[in-house]
Structure 1
Amino acid sequence: MTTFQADVEAVCAMARAGSTDSGRTVIGIAGPPASGKSTLAEAVVTALNDAAKGDVPLAALVPMDGYHLDNAILKAKGLFDRKGAPETFDAHGFCAALGRLRDQSHELFFPRFDRGIDMSVAGALSIHPQTPIVVVEGNYLLLESAPWSSLKDLFSATVFVSPAREVLRARLLQRWIDHGHSPEAALQRASGNDLPNAERILDESVAADLILHQSDLD
Structure 2
Amino acid sequence: MSPTTLENDVQYVCDLANSKRIAGKRTIIGVAGPPASGKSTLAEAVVRCLNQEENAVPVAALLPMDGYHLDNRLLESRGLLARKGAPETFDAHGFCDAVQKLSSATRESFHPKFDRQMDLAIANSIAIHPDTPVVVVEGNYLLLKAEPWATLKDVFSATVFVSPTIEELRDRLQQRWIKHGLDPTAAMQRATGNDLPNAELVLNESREADVLLNQNYTEFGVRYAY
TM-score when scaled to structure 1?
0.97
Query: In the TM superposition, what is the alpha-carbon distance from 1:104 to its structure 2 partner?
Result: 3.1
CA distance in 2, matches of 1:117, 1:20: 39
Query: In the TM superposition, what is the alpha-carbon distance from 1:217 to its structure 2 partner?
Result: 4.4
Mapped contact 1:8–1:43 kept (Cα < 8 A): yes
| Aligned-partner residue type, residue 9 of structure 1 | Q
Determine the structure 2 residue equivalent to 1:41: 43
| Aligned-partner residue type, residue 64 of structure 1 | M
The structure-2 alpha-carbon separation of the partners of 1:59 and 1:82, relative to structure 1 and needing over 3 Å to count, comes to same
Query: In the TM superposition, what is the alpha-carbon distance from 1:172 to its structure 2 partner?
Result: 0.4
User: Percent identity at matched positions?
Assistant: 61
Query: In the TM superposition, what is the alpha-carbon distance from 1:103 to its structure 2 partner?
Result: 2.3
Determine the structure 2 residue equivalent to 1:96: 97
Correspondence 1:207 to 2:208: yes
CA distance in 1, matches of 2:119, 2:169: 23
Q: Deviations over 1:46-94 (max 9, x none)?
A: 00000x3421100000000010000011001100000000000000111
Correspondence 1:23 to 2:25: yes
| Aligned-partner residue type, residue 33 of structure 2 | G
Residues 62-77 of structure 1: matches in 2 within 5 Å?
62-77=63-78
Correspondence 1:32 to 2:34: yes
Determine the structure 1 residue equivalent to 2:88: 87
Mapped contact 2:5–2:216 kept (Cα < 8 A): no
The runs of 5 or more residues in structure 2 that have no matched partner are 220-226
The runs of 5 or more residues in structure 1 that have no matched partner are none
TM-score when scaled to structure 2?
0.93
CA distance in 1, matches of 2:114, 2:216: 26
Query: In the TM superposition, what is the alpha-carbon distance from 1:216 to its structure 2 partner?
Result: 2.1
Q: Deviations over 1:89-148 (max 9, x none)?
A: 000111011111012311111111112221111111001111000000000000010000
Between the two proteins, the alignment pairs up a number of residues equal to: 216
CA distance in 2, matches of 1:217, 1:128: 35
C-alpha RMSD of the superposition: 1.0
| Aligned-partner residue type, residue 17 of structure 2 | A
CA distance in 2, matches of 1:62, 1:156: 15
Query: In the TM superposition, what is the alpha-carbon distance from 1:6 to its structure 2 partner?
Result: 0.5
| Aligned-partner residue type, residue 10 of structure 1 | Y
| Aligned-partner residue type, residue 55 of structure 1 | A
